[in-house]
Amino acid sequence: MVHGDATEPSAAYGVAVSGGGRWLTVSARVGHRPGNRLWLADLTAGPPEAPHLRPLARGEGADSALEVGRDGTARVLTGSGADGRRLCVFDPADPDAEWTELIGERSGAVLQSVAALDGPEGCPVLVALWSRQACAELTLHEADSGRTTGRVPLPGRGTVFHMTARPEGGGDLWFSYTDYATAQRVFCYDVREGTVTEGPCPAAARTRPPPAPPKRAPDPRRSAPGSWSTSRPTASGSPWRWSCPRT
């Protein structure tokens, strides 16, 4: 066992590895208790089958999510010190260091998730997903300072969830959107062009032909394109045939 032998049996774990394969993050939540615990390990500092997991004392007791970005910065989305959650950063090599707030909480809104993109000229950009009165907002921020630089245009006033960016980096962000009059759909935001298009991969959708409709076996009951016929025996044994319009 790598970890968890001293934790309650009802604990639920989450495990992730950074894009470069160096940093291992572990989270644990016990039952329905509020808050969770976080651990961080450098997989290059020892054998990967026995990682040295160090607990993050800061933010304990609050709902937090931890990841290490491609730039080597640890980002933690936490409710510690904020009613609507905030984004903090720190050096993963020193998990006991002070957290630096990058994106602070906003009045009346809850910070749900953050995604990192490669913006124009390779400048990193953060996309923050907020929920305000059941309506979503997507804001753009400088990755080094957290300064708000703009918004992502959404199809309407609805709900956004499942933000996904390329693990290897890039300027595309996919997200699901729905509202009271719109079924759930997937959209792609291009941070370099500032455009939002429907579909998981607009470029591929333009080059691939649409799938052919499935072929149906002919219905022997159909006597004409606009009708079908059938028969059944009568009491005398002679067949009784009739036709009906096809619906």
Which domain covers residue 201, as residue numbers?
Answer: 106-207
Q: Is residue 77 included in any domain, yes or no?
A: no
Confidence check: pLDDT of 135 > 90: yes
Measured over all CA atoms, what is the biggest interatomic distance in the chain, rounded to whole angstroms? Answer: 96
Number of domains making up the chain: 1
What CATH number has the domain bearing residue 115?
Answer: 2.40.128
Q: Is residue 132 included in any domain, yes or no?
A: yes
Cβ–Cβ < 8 Å for 179, 157: yes
Q: Is residue 135 included in any domain, yes or no?
A: yes
Cα separation values, 238 from 25, 228, 242, Å: 79, 20, 13
Q: Is residue 49 included in any domain, yes or no?
A: no
Q: Is residue 58 included in any domain, yes or no?
A: no
Confidence check: pLDDT of 226 > 60: no
The residue-averaged pLDDT of 91-104 equals 91
* pLDDT at residue 34 in the model: 81
The residue-averaged pLDDT of 223-235 equals 56
* pLDDT at residue 63 in the model: 87
* pLDDT at residue 47 in the model: 87
Confidence check: pLDDT of 218 > 80: no
